[in-house]
Amino acid sequence: MSKLVVGLVQQSCSALRSENIGKSIKGIREAAARGASLVVLQELHTGLYFCQSEDTAVFDQAETIPGPSTATFGALAKELGIVLVTSLFEKRAPGLYHNTAVVFEKDGAIAGTYRKMHIPDDPGYYEKFYFTPGDLGFNPIDTSAGRLGVLVCWDQWYPEGARLMAMAGAEILIYPTAIGYDPRDPEDEQQRQRDAWITIQRAHAVANGIPVVSVNRVGFEADPGSGPGAFFWGSSFVAGCQGEFLAQAGEGSEEVLTVELDRQRSEDVRRIWPYLRDRRIDAYGDLVKRYRD
């Protein structure tokens, strides 16, 4: 089958887990009703983005795999007959936690997981306090909707991760995301940050000849500490194999997007832009170094 309808659920989040899950479920159902056979949720969609500050009590929010979220969303994937990409705060063991994407097959079974590899530690994004870097590598997840190159948020700034997924046969790059701007920044700086976020991901589509699906949260979330809080800029989008926009949500609204992808297009584009063929793999050894002196 050469066509694939993909759904994206862009939502705001509150401190009420049940409310957030309810929004996600409503969005998933809407996307499925529009014909989506693959639906993608945003990063950490069951709660607030808690990494704005450091608080050991937050570890109580983490859950195991399998656990409550996988039970809920696995059952929904089976009911609707869809492939579903979700995100959760994983408790692997006492003191060992990950930011993990879980992919469900249309029968409700877990098709695979991806643990976020790149972990930021910036003002308002203190993720190193909470998340251990992933140890599953950059390996696509095989599903009935295709071979999915699932990465998470901060991973989207690194061309290496996108390339390794493409080299392993990923047919789509998928980025569940939670990113926004500091409300104290001037408007032009806010716009530059959003544009950079969009541009880097469109570049991954171009450089690898495969579509990119990026799903971001939306709305203001206060910092439980003393910080200014964060405005998550939404703007979830799907880019085609040459970086062209196929769909894009707004910056300030909850939305469900659906878009039809042509699976044949990657093959067609790669035949005229054969980047994988022309890579000089004999000359890239220094990429495994931190810096070239």
Low-confidence residues in the chain, pLDDT < 50: none
Strands 212-216 and 218-221: unpaired
Give the C-alpha separation, 232 to 178, whole Å: 7
Q: With respect to residue 283, please indicate whether it lies within any of the assigned structural domains.
A: no
Q: With respect to residue 284, please indicate whether it lies within any of the assigned structural domains.
A: no
- Is residue 59 classed as helix, strand or coil in its secondary structure? helix
Domain assignment of residue 168, given as a range: 3-272
Looking at 23, 91, 106, 116, which residue is catalytic?
A: 116
Amino acid 249: pLDDT: 98
Which CATH number goes with the domain that contains 252?
3.60.110.10
Answer whether 185's CB lies under 8 Å from 194's CB. Answer: no
Amino acid 75: pLDDT: 98
Q: With respect to residue 279, please indicate whether it lies within any of the assigned structural domains.
A: no
Amino acid 60: pLDDT: 97
Q: For the segment 112-123, what is each residue's pLDDT rounded down to a tens digit? A: 999 999 999 999
Q: Has 13 been annotated as catalytic? A: no
Amino acid 1: pLDDT: 58
Q: Has 153 been annotated as catalytic? A: yes
In the chain, how many domains are there?
Answer: 1
Q: With respect to residue 89, please indicate whether it lies within any of the assigned structural domains.
A: yes
Taking the CB of residue 87, how many other CB atoms lie within 10 A of it? 27
Cα 175 from chain centroid (whole Å): 2
Nearest residue to 46 via CA among 87, 82, 6:
87
Q: Has 189 been annotated as catalytic? A: no
Amino acid 225: pLDDT: 85
| Whether the bond into 183 is cis, omega within 30 of 0 | no
How long is the chain? 293
Q: How far apart are the first and last CA of the chain?
A: 50
Q: With respect to residue 289, please indicate whether it lies within any of the assigned structural domains.
A: no
CA angle, residues 280, 283, 285, in degrees to nearest 5: 120
Looking at 13, 43, 171, 221, which residue is catalytic?
A: 43
Looking at 153, 171, 241, 255, which residue is catalytic?
A: 153
Strands 121-122 and 3-10: unpaired
Amino acid 226: pLDDT: 85
CA angle, residues 179, 93, 40, in degrees to nearest 5: 35
Q: With respect to residue 259, please indicate whether it lies within any of the assigned structural domains.
A: yes
